[in-house]
Amino acid sequence: MTGPLFGKAALVTGASRGIGAAIARRLAADGAKVAITYFSSPERAAAVVAGIVAAGGEAIALRADAADDEAVREAVGEAARRFGRLDILVNNAGTGTAASIEDLPMAEFERVVAVNFRSVFVAMQAAARQMTEGGRIITIGSVNGDRVPFVHGAIYAATKAAVGGLTRGAARDLGPRGITVNLVQPGPIDTDMNPADGPWAAAGRAATALGRFGDVSDVAGLVAYLARDEAGFITGASLNIDGGYNA
């Protein structure tokens, strides 16, 4: 395969479905070798890999619980070993919770923080040790890191805001090495976890300027651009892809 990412190697976490799967497919279509992580959906992960291979790309699936620091580190290291390099990290693995701060159990708080924030730092740290100049670290956050127009979203929003601060600080730390660090913040995107015809879809559509949900390919396209050489002067940025949700 050829393409703007030919010769590059990428790891996309939590990519057995939805936005992560779309990102993996797009990076592969642009020429990158792609490793994906999964935890509870081996069949879905295998299907993503099979589709990439059938299209002429190279891909592998690695089982890793995003809440397990060592598993995340091992996945980063294994991707680098299998491909001989690591140029692109996409932190996509995430989880949610819906509860008032009065009622949220501490165990649930710890789980959401571990998956949505701690795993991002662990993967970022491990990947930075593998990357050379031109490396790309891209995290998938949420517009709810900036705005929470609904109840029971405090902890989820807090973790998404935290990765914004981490992104900006890491961009400063890694900039002298020529590694960029950016945050992509999707708004309402049609996935099986947040379908465009789901029970909360009407409110999501109404909150956007365009009056519709986005597609996973929209997010994948932005990530693919940030991974390219021509995006080398973009770093420390939080980029909304939300149809005007936060306008």
CA 118, 123, 128 angle in degrees (round to 5)?
130
Nearest C-alpha neighbor of 24 from the set 93, 73, 120? 93
Q: How buried is 82 (Cβ within 10 angstroms: 0-12 exposed, 13-18 middle, 19+ buried)?
A: middle
Q: Which residues contact 142 (CB under 8 A, 6 or more apart)?
A: 156, 157, 160, 185, 186, 187
156 is annotated as an active-site residue: yes
Side-chain-facing half-sphere of 36: CA atoms under 13 Å: 34
Structure-token pair, residue 140? 């998938």
Catalytic residues: 156
